[in-house]
A and B are shown apart, each in its own frame.
Chain A
Amino acid sequence: MKKEFNIIAKLITKDSKVLDVGCGDGELMKYISENITNDIRGLELSKHNVQKCIEKGLTVIEGDAEKDLKQFPESSFDYVVLSQTLQAFLDPENVINELLRVGKKAIVTIPNFGYWKVRIHLLFQGTMPITENLPNEWYDTPNLHMCTIKDFVNYCKKKNIKINSSNLSFQNLFSELGIFIIEK
Chain B
Amino acid sequence: MNNTKKVKKLIIDKPLKLDCGKTISNFPLAYETYGKLNEKKNNAILAFHALTGDQYASGINPITNKEGWWNYLLGPGKAIDTEKYFVICANVIGGCMGSYGPSSIDSSTNKPFGTNFPVITINDMVNAQYHLLEFFKIEKLFSVIGGSMGGMQVLQFVSNFPNKTHTAVPIACTASHSAQNIALNELGRQSIMADNNWSNGFYEENKKSPDKGLAVARMAAHITYLSKKGLQEKFGRKLQERDDLKFGFDADFQIESYLRYQGSVFVDRFDANSYLFITRAMDYFDLTKQFNGNLSKAFEKSKTKFFVISFTSDWLYPTSENREIVIALNAIGKDVGFAEITSDKGHDSFLLDVPDFLSAVKNFLKTSYKKINEKRI
A51, A59, A73: the one within 8 Å of B360 (CB): A51
Residue of A nearest to B375 (CB): A38
Interface SS, A side: mixed
Count A interface residues, CB 8 Å: 18
Q: Judging by beta carbons under 8 Å apart, are B339 and A62 in contact?
A: yes
B336 at the interface (CB under 8 A from A): yes
A149 vs chain B, min Cβ distance (A): 32
Within A52-88, which residues are at the interface with B (CB < 8 Å)?
54-57, 59-63, 71-73, 76
B326 at the interface (CB under 8 A from A): yes
B364 at the interface (CB under 8 A from A): yes
Chain A, residues 35-58, CB within 8 Å of chain B (1/0): the string is 000000100000100110011110
B369 vs chain A, min Cβ distance (A): 10
Assuming A60-B337, A61-B337, is B330 touching A54 (CB within 8 A)?
no
A-B contact count (CB 8 A): 57
Assuming A59-B335, A59-B336, is B342 touching A47 (CB within 8 A)?
yes
Q: Judging by beta carbons under 8 Å apart, are B356 and A73 in contact?
A: no
Q: Judging by beta carbons under 8 Å apart, are A71 and B326 in contact?
A: yes
B195 at the interface (CB under 8 A from A): no
B330, B335, B341, B371: the one within 8 Å of A57 (CB): B371
Q: Which one of A41, A62, A72 has the highest number of Cβ atoms from chain B below 10 Å of its Cβ?
A: A62
Query: Which range holds the interface residue count of chain B?
Result: 20 to 34
User: In the complex, A166 Cα to B336 Cα: how many Å?
Assistant: 34
User: In the complex, A18 Cα to B338 Cα: how many Å?
Assistant: 17
Residue of B nearest to A57 (CB): B367
Assuming A51-B339, A54-B337, A54-B339, is B370 touching A73 (CB within 8 A)?
no
A63: chain B residues within 8 A (beta carbon): 323, 338
User: In the complex, A71 Cα to B308 Cα: how many Å?
Assistant: 15
A76: chain B residues within 8 A (beta carbon): 333
Chain B, residues 331-361, CB within 8 Å of chain A (1/0): the string is 1110111111110000000000000100110
Q: Judging by beta carbons under 8 Å apart, are B327 and A73 in contact?
A: no
B270 vs chain A, min Cβ distance (A): 35
B213 vs chain A, min Cβ distance (A): 41
Chain A, residues 144-179, CB within 8 Å of chain B (1/0): the string is 000000000000000000000000000000000000
Assuming A51-B356, A71-B327, A76-B333, is B367 touching A56 (CB within 8 A)?
yes
User: In the complex, A177 Cα to B271 Cα: how many Å?
Assistant: 66
B368 at the interface (CB under 8 A from A): yes
User: In the complex, A28 Cα to B372 Cα: how many Å?
Assistant: 22
Q: Judging by beta carbons under 8 Å apart, are A61 and B326 in contact?
A: yes
> What 10 pairs across the A-B complex have the smallest Cβ distances?
A57-B367, A71-B327, A61-B338, A59-B337, A54-B363, A71-B330, A55-B363, A62-B339, A50-B339, A62-B338
A/B interface sample: 8 pairs, CB < 8 A: A47-B341, A54-B367, A55-B367, A57-B370, A61-B326, A61-B336, A72-B331, A73-B331
